[in-house]
């Protein structure tokens, strides 16, 4: 991978303007070439240049490889904070706390672009299907799948205009 893919790509992109550093890593069947540019470089322009350079040498690369992909990664868009939770709650309860309380509160802070939750135990429901009973009722498995998908939609609730106008402090919506 290194000599057949990484090195030719590295050589092809070294002439791109404002290039600060080129590194590559090759693992079993995967080659990654990382280009670092000077601060203030127009990433759209250099990404286009990189696409052109790689396209120009595509005939030199092995025929059986996947199409090379050029991705822009702006370091400034990387997370500036990672928070870990620990406590007496179970992993499932901790995940619910993170999803339902902490994520919402962090997302409301000015300047926070996004909040992602990783880890914990996500709620999962297993459905065991008895094919002979489905056949007896004339129901196909596709129908069961579509019904579950339809029941699992997250649809936002919106108060109607009339309801919004009639709810006052101390009253409840009917």
| pLDDT value of residue 152 | 66
CATH class of segment(s) 2-76: alpha beta
Tokens 């030199």 sit at which residue?
A: 60
| pLDDT value of residue 19 | 94
| pLDDT value of residue 51 | 94
Rounded average pLDDT per 10-residue block, the chain, 174 residues: 90 94 87 90 92 94 89 76 88 89 90 82 80 91 86 52 40 42
Q: What is the pTM of this model?
A: 0.46
Distance of CA 8 to the CA centre of its chain: 30
| pLDDT value of residue 112 | 82
Distance from C-alpha of 41 to C-alpha of 54, rounded to nearest angstrom: 19
Rounded alpha-carbon distances, angstroms, from residue 76 to 72, 73, 113: 12, 9, 12
Name the segment(s) of the chain with CATH classification 3.30.70.1430. 2-76
DSSP run (H or E) holding 30: strand 30-37
DSSP run (H or E) holding 141: helix 141-151
Tokens of 172: 């409840």
Rounded alpha-carbon distances, angstroms, from residue 44 to 14, 48, 51, 69, 160: 17, 6, 11, 14, 44
């Amino acid at each position: 991978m290194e000599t057949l893919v990484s090195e030719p790509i590295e050589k092809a992109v070294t002439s791109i303007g404002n290039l600060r550093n080129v590194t590559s890593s090759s693992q079993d069947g995967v080659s990654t070439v990382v280009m670092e540019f000077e601060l203030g470089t127009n990433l759209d322009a250099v990404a286009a240049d990189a696409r052109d350079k790689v396209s120009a040498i595509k005939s030199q690369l092995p025929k059986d490889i996947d199409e090379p992909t050029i991705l822009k990664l702006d370091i400034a868009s990387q997370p500036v904070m990672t928070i870990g939770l620990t406590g007496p709650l179970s992993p499932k309860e901790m995940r619910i706390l993170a999803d339902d309380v902490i994520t919402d509160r962090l997302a409301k802070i000015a300047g926070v672009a996004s909040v992602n939750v990783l880890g914990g135990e996500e709620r999962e429901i297993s459905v065991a299907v008895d094919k002979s009973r489905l056949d007896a009722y004339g129901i196909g498995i596709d129908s069961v799948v579509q019904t579950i998908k339809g029941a699992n939609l997250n649809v936002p609730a919106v108060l109607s205009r009339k309801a919004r106008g009639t709810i006052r402090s101390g009253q409840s919506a009917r």
